[in-house]
Amino acid sequence: MNLSKFFKNAFLVMLACLVLSACATKKVQNQMQGDVYTGTDTVEYLASGVPDRVFFATNESVLTTASRDTLRKQAEWLRKNSKVNVVLEGHADERGTREYNLALGERRANAAKDYLMTYGISANRISVISYGKERPVDSGSNPLAWSKNRRSVTVKAN
Amino acid sequence: MIKNIKFSIILLIIATVQSNALIEVDITRGNLDPLPIAVSPLSSDNETNSKLIKELKIDKVGQKISNVVENNLKNSGLFNPLNKDAFLQKPDIAHLKPRFEDWSLIKAQALITGKVTLNDGKLRVEFRLWDVLAGKEMMALAFTTVPSNWRRVGHIITDKVYERLTGEKGYFDTRIIYVAEDGPKTKRIKKLAIMDQDGSNTKYLTLGNELVLTPRFNPTNQMVTYLSYFRNLPRVYLLDIETGVQEVVGDFPGMTFAPRFSPDGKKIIMSFAMDGNSDIYTMDLENRIVDRITNHPSIDTSPSYSPDGKFICFNSDRSGYQQIYVMKKDGTGVKRISFGKGLYGTPVWSPRGDLIAFTKLHKGKFYIGVMRTDGTGERLLTENYYQEAPSWSPNGRVLIFYRETKTDSQGKGFSAKLWSIDLTGYNERMVKTESDASDPSWSSLLSN
């Protein structure tokens, strides 16, 4: 009797654990596609509906579909606000050597710059700076934190 | 700026008793049985002591110098300095003529004795190294310097003892330049800092107003090259430690980074990033001529010259991932040398010329390792959550690097520290710094 009660309790606890961990996993998965961040926790907005940043996969500088969508919105906003200049700040996560990450951040910011240029934004309105892994937004040491840190952020320069 | 209160070392050979030394220390293997050595406190007479206290506020300078020596020898991992409580003979008498039975009784195989005197405001330090088992003097030297240089005397004595017993140059009279870190991980404050190899005499060379990274010594003098984000323009700078004068290197229309000096100290080799592509360039510091060394759409960075200046190793992802390559100094003959599993970065050519140290990332772990210059003989020395950026001691026997800790689920608990390890893979230890630290670079010997 006691024993079966014990098992029943244990079973309930295990079930609860499973449900909770499933939720946790699901939450992370909802914020990442592959290892690219798709959440909005860290995102700020240049204007209503114009997110300021795009995210990258590990060691990559290829723009995802979502990134290109964000950059088209930025381009449209920049066309409307033709006096605004921007700085594209490229970043990498902490899981790489410092010097390589500086180069990688520069490559990422330039991928964003090239895309803005193909949508009609003049190169002389865009400057680029890489911070490598020096300025993470999330100080965590886990895949979700790293995915938030692999980014190119468009910042108003004037 | 910091330097160098005229340091005249007068090497006086007090006695040249050539002995067939019985003791020698093999530094090519891991040394699990460090040599027992007794470092007798350097003796000084009462007059010298009272003068030093009165005029210079330095108490027990002989004992302090011997502590520096002892600490150096212990940290090398090759020596086991014995507890001074067990010493039977008084320092002044031992320096004249050691009673070898007393020293062999406490299992000392080598003995260092010495004497400090003050003449005309100058500190005169003499020391002797004795082979206890053979009952012979192995070396006797004297130095004269300004009293404030007493720590350097300790380092120079250690270098002489190390060289006599191992047959190779020491690395103790040297300094480390590094980046001192403070503040939260998301807004780290970074300053250039310099200290003696043993962690003392720390001085800060920048104020922390702008981000600074990757300082490296000129192998021929006390100049430093580093990356600064001054005015938000990341560029390679040159810093004269003595005068504090800083200047930007070259007039590049984009980020320059990953600087190092050529072995003759006359050029800086670095990466220049433009339109998403990083290539390697050199700049001659005399005539300011810039040469492009690589021209490839991949990332080319972390260049480091061979000690003869004929070759350059560097990091490139031209294969798709970070790997180590070697080329001739003009950029021709590029050859990939790293073929193991994982990613490879930060290659640094050994001052002896035979090895390249590197950082390796494999399955979520970071390693510091070495390989021959053709890529064979890869040997991983240490594994950790995060570590990178090895720098060689001037004798090519020790590597210093930095290590970062993993943060917890709240993003707390981050730290960055300097560590060193012998080429043998033994004697891994933390190098004490006043604050968190990264990007260490080892100077060459200050004196020879």
Integer Cα distance of B420 and B380 in angstroms: 14
Identify all chain B residues contacting A61, using CB atoms and an 8 Å cutoff.
276
Q: Does B414 contact A145 at a Cβ distance shorter than 8 Å? A: no
Interface A–B counts its CB contacts (< 8 A) at 105
Integer Cα distance of B323 and B345 in angstroms: 6
- Regarding whether B342 and B290 lie in a shared domain, the answer is yes
Residue B398 contacts residue B423 (beta carbons within 8 Å): yes
Residue B128 contacts residue B98 (beta carbons within 8 Å): no
Integer Cα distance of A156 and B3 in angstroms: 45
Where a domain ends, among B166, B187, B206?
A: B166
Looking at every residue in chain A, the average pLDDT score rounds to 88
- Regarding whether B343 and B256 lie in a shared domain, the answer is yes
- Regarding whether A39 and A110 lie in a shared domain, the answer is yes
Residues 6+ apart with CB under 8 A from A106: A90, A128, A130, B254, B255, B273, B276, B278
Cα-atom radius of gyration of chain B, to the nearest Å?
24
- Regarding whether B181 and B98 lie in a shared domain, the answer is no
Residue B258 contacts residue B273 (beta carbons within 8 Å): no
Q: Tell whether A141 lies on the interface with B, counting CB pairs under 8 A.
A: yes
Q: Tell whether A116 lies on the interface with B, counting CB pairs under 8 A.
A: no
CA angle B125/B130/B133 to nearest 5° reads 165
Identify all chain A residues contacting B319, using CB atoms and an 8 Å cutoff.
none
Interface mutation vs chain B, best among A89, A106, A142, most B CBs within 10 Å: A106
Q: What is the pLDDT of residue B10?
A: 44
Identify all chain A residues contacting B187, using CB atoms and an 8 Å cutoff.
135
Shortest CB distance from A97 goes to which of B275, B346, B407?
B346
Residue A49, min C-alpha distance to chain B (Å) = 26
Sheet bearing B300-305, strands edge to edge = B300-305, B311-316, B323-328, B335-336
Q: What is the pLDDT of residue A26?
A: 46
Shortest CB distance from A97 goes to which of B276, B359, B406?
B359
Q: How many residues does chain B have?
A: 448
**3-state SS assignment for residue A12:** helix
For chain B positions 353-412, those within 8 Å of chain A (CB to CB) are: 359, 361, 364, 385-386, 388-389, 404, 406-407, 409, 411-412
Residue B72 contacts residue B199 (beta carbons within 8 Å): no
For B251-289, the DSSP string reads --SS-EEEEEE-TTSSEEEEEEEETTEEEEEEEETTT--
CA-closest candidate to residue A110, choices A87, A141, A93, A80:
A87
Q: Tell whether B332 lies on the interface with A, counting CB pairs under 8 A.
A: no
- Regarding whether B183 and B96 lie in a shared domain, the answer is no
Q: How many domains does chain B have?
A: 2
Q: Tell whether B211 lies on the interface with A, counting CB pairs under 8 A.
A: yes
* Structural domain boundaries, residue A23: 1-33
CA angle A58/A62/A63 to nearest 5° reads 110
CA-closest candidate to residue B125, choices B165, B156, B82:
B156
B346 φ/ψ angles, rounded to the nearest 5 degrees: 45, 50
Shortest CB distance from B214 goes to which of A99, A130, A141?
A99
Integer Cα distance of B43 and B117 in angstroms: 9
Q: What is the pLDDT of residue A71?
A: 98
Cα-atom radius of gyration of chain A, to the nearest Å?
20
Determine the residue type at A118.
T
Residue B258 contacts residue A99 (beta carbons within 8 Å): yes
- Regarding whether B226 and B143 lie in a shared domain, the answer is no
* B-chain residue closest to A123, CA distance: B275
B54 domain-assigned:
yes
- Regarding whether B388 and B359 lie in a shared domain, the answer is yes
Residue A91, min C-alpha distance to chain B (Å) = 12
- Regarding whether B135 and B197 lie in a shared domain, the answer is no
pLDDT tens digits, residue range B255-274?
999 999 999 999 999 999 99
Q: Does B439 contact A98 at a Cβ distance shorter than 8 Å? A: yes
Look up the CATH number of the domain holding residue B121: 3.40.50.10070
Interface mutation vs chain B, best among A27, A99, A108, most B CBs within 10 Å: A99
Integer Cα distance of B43 and B127 in angstroms: 10
* Structural domain boundaries, residue B147: 35-166
Token representation of residue A107:
């490559």
- Regarding whether B226 and B133 lie in a shared domain, the answer is no
For chain A positions 95-114, those within 8 Å of chain B (CB to CB) are: 95-100, 102-104, 106-107, 109-111, 113-114
Token representation of residue B277:
């592509």
Residue B345 contacts residue B361 (beta carbons within 8 Å): yes
Integer Cα distance of B145 and B161 in angstroms: 19
Q: Does B301 contact A102 at a Cβ distance shorter than 8 Å? A: yes
- Regarding whether A66 and A7 lie in a shared domain, the answer is no
Bridge partners (DSSP) listed for residue B145 = B123
- Regarding whether A95 and A40 lie in a shared domain, the answer is yes
Please report which confidence band the pLDDT of residue A4 belongs to, taking 50, 70 and 90 as the band edges.
Answer: low
* A-chain residue closest to B270, CA distance: A99
| Residue B349 burial (C-beta neighbours within 10 Å; 0-12, 13-18, 19+) | buried
Q: Tell whether B188 lies on the interface with A, counting CB pairs under 8 A.
A: yes
Token representation of residue B63:
């004992």
Q: Does B255 contact A137 at a Cβ distance shorter than 8 Å? A: no
Identify all chain A residues contacting B277, using CB atoms and an 8 Å cutoff.
107
pLDDT tens digits, residue range A22-64?
444 445 557 999 999 999 999 999 999 999 999 999 999 999 9
- Regarding whether B202 and B161 lie in a shared domain, the answer is no
Q: Does A139 contact B184 at a Cβ distance shorter than 8 Å? A: yes
Q: Does A129 contact B232 at a Cβ distance shorter than 8 Å? A: yes
Identify all chain B residues contacting A145, using CB atoms and an 8 Å cutoff.
411
* B-chain residue closest to A89, CA distance: B232
Q: Tell whether B318 lies on the interface with A, counting CB pairs under 8 A.
A: no
- Regarding whether B187 and B134 lie in a shared domain, the answer is no
**3-state SS assignment for residue A138:** coil
Sheet bearing B379-384, strands edge to edge = B343-349, B355-362, B365-372, B379-384
pLDDT at A82 over 50: yes
Q: What is the pLDDT of residue B3?
A: 39
Q: What is the mean pLDDT of each run of 10 residues along chain B (448 residues)?
A: 41 42 64 89 89 83 95 96 94 94 96 93 94 95 92 96 95 97 96 97 96 96 94 96 91 96 97 97 96 98 98 97 98 97 97 97 97 97 97 97 93 95 95 97 89
Integer Cα distance of B435 and B179 in angstroms: 10
Identify all chain B residues contacting A103, using CB atoms and an 8 Å cutoff.
257, 271, 273, 278, 299, 301
Integer Cα distance of B307 and B421 in angstroms: 21
Residue B71 contacts residue B28 (beta carbons within 8 Å): no
Run of H or E residues at B166: helix B150-166
Residue A77, min C-alpha distance to chain B (Å) = 23
- Regarding whether A119 and A96 lie in a shared domain, the answer is yes
Q: Tell whether B48 lies on the interface with A, counting CB pairs under 8 A.
A: no
**3-state SS assignment for residue B143:** strand
* B-chain residue closest to A110, CA distance: B276
B263 φ/ψ angles, rounded to the nearest 5 degrees: -60, -30
Q: What is the pLDDT of residue B46?
A: 86
Q: Tell whether B414 lies on the interface with A, counting CB pairs under 8 A.
A: yes
Where a domain ends, among B166, B196, B212?
A: B166
- Regarding whether A47 and A12 lie in a shared domain, the answer is no
Residue B238 contacts residue B285 (beta carbons within 8 Å): yes
- Regarding whether A65 and A6 lie in a shared domain, the answer is no
Residue B193 contacts residue B179 (beta carbons within 8 Å): yes
CA-closest candidate to residue B272, choices B288, B284, B290:
B290
- Regarding whether A88 and A148 lie in a shared domain, the answer is yes
Token representation of residue B261:
């000096």
Q: Tell whether A158 lies on the interface with B, counting CB pairs under 8 A.
A: no
Q: How many domains does chain A have?
A: 2
B192 domain-assigned:
yes
CA-closest candidate to residue B348, choices B255, B422, B263:
B263
**3-state SS assignment for residue B300:** strand
Identify all chain A residues contacting B359, using CB atoms and an 8 Å cutoff.
97
* Chain Cα centroid distance, residue B180: 16
CA-closest candidate to residue B366, choices A158, A92, A96:
A96
- Regarding whether A68 and A137 lie in a shared domain, the answer is yes
Residues 6+ apart with CB under 8 A from A79: A120, A121
Q: Tell whether B210 lies on the interface with A, counting CB pairs under 8 A.
A: no
B13 domain-assigned:
no
- Regarding whether B255 and B128 lie in a shared domain, the answer is no
* B-chain residue closest to A149, CA distance: B186
CA distances to A38, A57, B112, B255 from A116, rounded to whole Å, are 20, 20, 70, 21
